[in-house]
Amino acid sequence: MTIDELVRRTLREWSAEADVPPGDLAGAALRRRRRNRLRMFAVVAGATATVVAAAVTVPALVHGEGPPGNDEPVVAVVAEPDPSRETAADPESSPPKTLVAAGGVAAYSFYTWKEEKISADRQVMKLTWSRYNRDSGVYERTPWAWLDVVRGGEAAVFLEEIPATRVGVLTGRGAEVRWIALERPASAVRMSPDATRLLLTNYSANPDESYIPVDNGQRGMPQSRIGFTVVDLDGGRSVFHAVAADQEAGFGGRNDFQWSDDGTLVWENHSSASTTRKYYDLEGKERPAPSREAETHQRAGLSPGGTRLAVESPDRSAIVGIQDLSTGETVPLAAVAGYWIEQAVAWADDERLVVWACERKGAQVCVGGEFRNRLLLVGLNGGEAVPLSGFRKNSQQEGESWTPVFTDR
C-alpha–C-alpha distance, residues 182 and 59, integer Å: 15
Decide if pLDDT at 120 tops 80: yes
- Continuous segment of H or E residues that includes residue 9: helix 3-16
Query: Average pLDDT of 136-140?
Result: 96
Q: Range with the lowest mean pLDDT among 290-294, 397-401, 403-407? A: 397-401
C-alpha–C-alpha distance, residues 392 and 101, integer Å: 17
Which amino acid belongs to residue 163? P
Query: Average pLDDT of 347-372?
Result: 92
Helix (H, G, I), strand (E, B) or coil at 352: strand
Q: Do 201 and 182 meet the contact criterion of CB atoms below 8 Å apart?
A: no
Q: Phi and psi (nearest 5°) for 81?
A: -60, 145
Q: Do 97 and 141 meet the contact criterion of CB atoms below 8 Å apart?
A: no
**Nearest-CA neighbor of 87 among 395, 376, 403?**
376
User: Helix axis angle, 25-33 relative to 3-16, nearest 10°?
Assistant: 60
Q: Do 90 and 101 meet the contact criterion of CB atoms below 8 Å apart?
A: no
Q: How many CB atoms lie within 10 A of CB 50?
A: 18
**DSSP per residue over 183-206, as a string?**
EEEEEEEEE-TTSSEEEEEEESS-
**Nearest-CA neighbor of 167 among 194, 150, 144, 142?**
144
C-alpha–C-alpha distance, residues 126 and 115, integer Å: 6
Mean pLDDT of the chain: 79
Q: Do 95 and 60 meet the contact criterion of CB atoms below 8 Å apart?
A: no
**Nearest-CA neighbor of 177 among 157, 194, 195, 161?**
157
* Cβ within 8 Å of residue 178, ≥6 positions away: 58, 61, 62, 63, 74, 76, 168, 169, 171
C-alpha–C-alpha distance, residues 27 and 396, integer Å: 9
Q: Do 345 and 406 meet the contact criterion of CB atoms below 8 Å apart?
A: yes
Decide if pLDDT at 376 tops 70: yes
Confidence of residue 72 (pLDDT cuts 50, 70, 90): very low
- Continuous segment of H or E residues that includes residue 4: helix 3-16
Q: Range with the lowest mean pLDDT among 19-28, 132-141, 174-183? A: 19-28
> Averaging pLDDT over each range in 46-60, 138-152, 310-324, 376-390, which range is the top one?
138-152
Domains of the chain, start order: 3-408 (2.130.10)
C-alpha–C-alpha distance, residues 197 and 203, integer Å: 19
Check residue 248 and give its pLDDT: 57
* Residue with the larger pLDDT of the pair 247 and 57: 247
Decide if pLDDT at 268 tops 70: yes
**Nearest-CA neighbor of 218 among 37, 26, 409, 19?**
37
* Cβ within 8 Å of residue 299, ≥6 positions away: 21, 23, 24, 44, 45, 310, 343, 344, 345, 346
Quick: pLDDT tens for 233-252: 887 789 999 998 876 555 56
Instruction: Quote the distance between the C-alpha of residue 271 and its chain's center.
Output: 19
| Stated pTM of the model | 0.80
CA dihedral defined by 16, 18, 19, 22, rounded to 10 degrees? 100
- Continuous segment of H or E residues that includes residue 168: strand 164-170
